[in-house]
Amino acid sequence: MLLADEWKEYELIETGDGEKLERWGNVILRRPDPQIIWPIKDKKMWDKADAHYHRSQSGGGQWEFKKKVPKRWTVAFNDLKFYIEPTGFKHTGLFPEQSVNWKWMINSIQKANRPIKVLNLFAYTGGATVATAYAGAEVCHVDAAKGMVSWAKENLALSGLADRPVRFITDDCMKFVQREIRRGKKYDGIIMDPPSYGRGPGGEIWKIEDSLYGFVEQCMGLLSDKPLFFLINSYTTGFSPTVLSNILKQTIGKRFKGTHSGGEVGIPVSNSGLVLPCGIYGRWENR
């Protein structure tokens, strides 16, 4: 498991009873996590939360603000900065465990010592976009949600990278890839963080178990003659990281030399010494 253990402005303080207690900068949030099936040990500690997200039995939920919390604030990971904002679906606009992949991509791009073009699909608020732009890549950021694309633009500017060559696209990722192939566009790195289920702007249905392999195979048509990396992230319950590694082996691995791997990403829990698993990845890299 790869551990996101280099944060200074984020901390996973404690976990228990289906919830996690986190520090985002100076703000402490309490949020649900279904993987946390062990009990709370120190209940007094949880009183420190500035805000608590409560799930609704009918779906969704709402925040209970126990102290005055800014509508939006910032956290930094090394030189990268991001806006944090509690949303109506418990999220904050950032997945801190992805810092392990940001570091890997930054290192790959900087070591390549040549111009690199990166395509970031299902790109959300742009953590990977900011990281790869910071490393010197030309980036195309694609997400179907207009609000997430706007948030990503703000994160890029917040990190002092607004002048970097980044193209922001609001579109269905599958349709965009098809158009880019017809245009003859090529990329040296592809990143994707596909949802388990979703709909595109035109009602297109995405189910990861039915759609992922074919989509990765389609993306092969966008790879340059000397691709640098391919990264798949997933938070789909029940998926093994070996599944993602196998997909990469059967697609990009058949065309290019390199190494493929899969694994988990996790965050250490400060108070207990446990590690909270936070998703899986599949990587291919050209060595």
DSSP the chain: -EE----SSEEEEEEETTEEEEEETTEEEEEE-TT--SPPS-GGGGGG-SEEEEE-TTS-EEEEESS---SSEEEEETTEEEEE---TTS--S--GGGHHHHHHHHHHHHHH-S--EEEEES-TT-HHHHHHHHTT-EEEEEES-HHHHHHHHHHHHHTT-TTS-EEEEES-HHHHHHHHHHHT--BSEEEE---SEEE-TT--EEEHHHHHHHHHHHHGGGB-SS--EEEEEE--TT--HHHHHHHHHHTHHHHS--EEEEEEEEEE-TTT--EEEEEEEEEEE--
Q: What is the pLDDT of residue 223?
A: 98
Q: Can you give the pLDDT at residue 201?
A: 60
Q: pLDDT, tens digit, for every residue of 129-163?
A: 999 999 999 999 999 999 999 999 999 999 999 99
**What does the alpha-carbon distance between residue 191 and residue 283 come to, in Å, rounded to a whole number?**
9
Domain ranges (residues) in the chain: 2-84, 96-286
Q: In this structure, are residues 111 and 187 in contact, taking their beta carbons and an 8 Å threshold? A: no
Answer yes or no: are the C-beta atoms of 109 and 129 closer than 8 Å. Answer: no
pLDDT of 202 reads 67
Read off the pLDDT of residues 152-210 as tens digits, 9 standing for 90 and up: 999 999 999 999 999 999 998 999 999 999 999 999 999 999 988 877 666 767 778 88
Q: Which two tokens stand for residue 83?
A: 């806006």
pLDDT score, position 208:
84
Give the tokens for residue 195: 């949802």
| Closest C-alpha among 129, 157, 154 to residue 143 | 129
Q: Residue 161's closest CA among 198, 186, 185, 130?
A: 130
Name the stretches of the chain with pLDDT < 50: none
Any idea which fold 96-286 has?
Answer: Rossmann fold (3.40.50)
Question: What pLDDT, on a 0 to 100 scale, did the predictor assign at position 195?
Answer: 83
| Count of CA atoms in the C-beta half-sphere (13 A) of 19 | 20
Instruction: Kindly report the average pLDDT of the chain as a whole number.
Output: 94
**Class at the top of the CATH hierarchy for domain 2-84:** mainly beta
pLDDT for 204: 67
